[in-house]
Amino acid sequence: MFKPDQLMEKAQHSKFELWKLNKAINFMIPFNRPHGFKILEITKTHVTTLIPYKKKNFNHIRGLHATALATLSEFTTGLLLLNILGIENYRLILQRLDIEYHYQGKMSATAHFKVDDQWLQQHVYTPLKQQDSVVVPCPIDIHDKQGNKLTSATIYWQLKTWDKVKTKV
């Protein structure tokens, strides 16, 4: 049986397992497949992802498209949260996305998201002791290969444990 948690754990220690994770992500999230996002590094505290400079990511002036950059921000933050918290333990739903565009992307770019134990306590663990769900703000920037800041975003994830999820039949 396919276990995403195990694949993410193994990818932290092996380039081959990271390659396998990148292949698996394309099947787990088919919407992102055309973008060609690539996880460059993943640990329990940070993740770095890449958006390639290719035609499927272009806007009308051959720059990286605004929505592709926003999607990379969403993908990167959600991936790290699920890696830390566990796919089987928590449900993540995008609540809101605030993004500011600074510079036109004319080459491949990377997003980097990092959290520490203090951040997790403040934004996830402590609030979930007092309420069923929490909205977690995840600040993230995207930079091109030359270091130009393309975007500044905050992705707001609604997070709750699966036992608190109520769905209609």
Whether residue 144 contacts residue 57, with contact meaning beta carbons closer than 8 Å, is answered with: no
Complete domains list, the chain, with CATH: 4-164 (3.10.129.10)
- Could you give the 3-state DSSP secondary structure of residue 169? coil
DSSP E strand boundaries for 68-164: 90-101, 109-114, 133-144, 149-161
pLDDT tens figures, 112-147:
999 999 999 999 999 999 999 999 999 999 999 999
pTM for the model? 0.91
Does 4 score more than 80 pLDDT? no
What pLDDT digit, counting tens, does each position of 7-42 carry?
889 999 999 999 999 999 988 888 888 899 999 999
Helix/strand/coil for 37? coil
